[in-house]
């Protein structure tokens, strides 16, 4: 029996929509509407690259030197981005997840994060993936099952697809957000913020991506009457991929995949809903304090029009 790098494949469908959720990392490997990819996929027989579709738990983005303190105790995490001296994207990207519930249109993936000397907290994580008329909806629930408080933040790493055989360069990107988090060039750690108005990173009204290289977090998100923030990617094939995030996510990181290896470079636009900014586990900014029994819930979704 062949062992796939992403483990067991859990396939769900609704009408012409189909998505595959994977055992390794618990993320979305692919999501199609008919033959058209909504999220940029990675092959079944390939190792996930660029965190494609992965949940980012218990923190998203980068953590300087892998160090954090909580309630006066300093901890050291493994450096999973050693070339930049960072720990990145949490602790669950390469762990095996289990399917808790499976039906034709829905799968709930679960993982238990046991305490250790570097992360001495116990968390139960459930991610509910469902397909419906409005597209793919993803709900992440985290519960502190330990006997003391726990720091927590989350995110996910989907890549919006410009369509088969093309790059994001010819797409029009719209993200109504007024602030960009600045980072240093060497380690991509926060150095401050700037207003996007009158800059090349102002996507409020929509602008062509072109050759612009983006790997920044955006905040102060505009929201609709339902409290949702939106990213729209209007593509040359006259389709638009739209991602929404509820108020559980206060930041959206955009990444043009310009550092991925060919032939996958710039073939998708990462639009990462995050509940906290880069380096949050160290600074404490927007990190949730979960007391024993507390549950944190955040939702995002994506569809094609």
Residue that has been written with the tokens 């105790």 in this structure: 73
Residues 243-262: tens digit of each pLDDT: 999 999 999 999 999 999 99
Band of pLDDT at residue 226, cut at 50, 70 and 90 = very high
Choose among 128, 156, 169, 139: nearest CA to 56. Answer: 156
Residues 125-150: tens digit of each pLDDT: 999 999 999 999 999 999 999 999 99
Choose among 282, 235, 228: nearest CA to 88. Answer: 282
- Taking only Cα atoms into account, the Rg of the chain, rounded to an integer number of angstroms, comes to 18
Contacts of 25 (CB under 8 A, 6+ apart): 6, 48, 53, 54, 55, 92, 93, 94, 95, 97
Structure-block tokens of residue 33: 């509407």
Residue 177: per-residue pLDDT: 97
Residue 2: per-residue pLDDT: 82
d(CA 104, CA 136): 13
Residues 276-285: tens digit of each pLDDT: 999 999 999 9
d(CA 36, CA 137): 18
d(CA 53, CA 51): 6
Residues 33-64: tens digit of each pLDDT: 999 999 999 999 999 999 999 999 999 999 99
d(CA 61, CA 33): 29
Quick one: what percent of the chain has pLDDT higher than 70?
Answer: 100
d(CA 31, CA 126): 20
Residue 63's CB: how many other CB atoms inside 10 A?
25
Average pLDDT along the chain:
96
Instruction: Answer whether residue 288 shows pLDDT above 90.
Output: yes
Contacts of 299 (CB under 8 A, 6+ apart): 137, 138, 139, 140, 245, 246, 248
Write the DSSP string, 257-271. Answer: -TTSPTTSTTSSEEE
d(CA 183, CA 191): 5
Distances 15 to 18, 102, 237 between C-alpha atoms, Å: 8, 17, 21
Instruction: Answer whether residue 1 shows pLDDT above 80.
Output: no
Q: How far is CA 150 from the centre of its chain?
A: 21
Instruction: Answer whether residue 119 shows pLDDT above 80.
Output: yes
Structure-block tokens of residue 36: 């058209």
Residues 78-97: tens digit of each pLDDT: 999 999 999 999 999 999 99
Instruction: Answer whether residue 165 shows pLDDT above 90.
Output: no
């Amino acid at each position: 029996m062949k062992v796939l790098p992403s483990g067991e494949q859990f396939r769900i469908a609704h009408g012409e929509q189909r998505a595959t959720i994977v055992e390794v990392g618990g993320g979305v490997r692919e999501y199609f509407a008919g033959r058209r990819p909504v999220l940029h996929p990675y092959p079944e027989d390939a190792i996930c690259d660029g965190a494609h579709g992965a949940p980012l738990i218990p923190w998203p983005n980068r953590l300087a030197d892998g160090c954090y303190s909580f309630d006066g105790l300093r901890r050291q995490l493994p450096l999973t981005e050693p070339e930049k001296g960072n720990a990145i994207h949490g602790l669950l990207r390469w762990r095996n997840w289990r399917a808790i519930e499976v039906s034709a249109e829905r799968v709930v993936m679960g993982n238990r994060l046991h305490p250790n000397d570097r992360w001495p907290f116990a968390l139960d994580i459930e991610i509910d993936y469902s397909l419906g008329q409005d597209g793919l909806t993803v709900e992440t629930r985290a519960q502190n099952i330990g006997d003391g408080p726990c720091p927590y933040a989350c995110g996910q790493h989907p890549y919006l697809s410009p369509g088969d055989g093309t790059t994001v360069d010819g797409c029009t990107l719209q993200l109504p957000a007024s602030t960009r988090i600045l980072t240093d060039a060497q380690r991509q750690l926060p150095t401050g913020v700037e207003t996007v108005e009158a800059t090349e990173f102002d996507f409020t009204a929509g602008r062509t991506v072109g050759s612009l290289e983006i790997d920044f977090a955006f905040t102060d998100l505009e929201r609709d009457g339902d409290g949702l923030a939106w990213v729209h990617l209007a593509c040359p094939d006259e389709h638009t991929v739209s991602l929404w995030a509820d108020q559980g996510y206060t930041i959206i990181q955009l990444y043009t995949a310009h550092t991925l290896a060919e032939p996958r470079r710039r073939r998708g636009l990462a639009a990462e809903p995050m509940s906290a900014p880069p380096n949050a586990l160290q600074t404490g900014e927007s990190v949730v304090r979960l007391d024993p029994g507390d549950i944190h819930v955040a939702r995002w979704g994506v569809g094609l029009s």
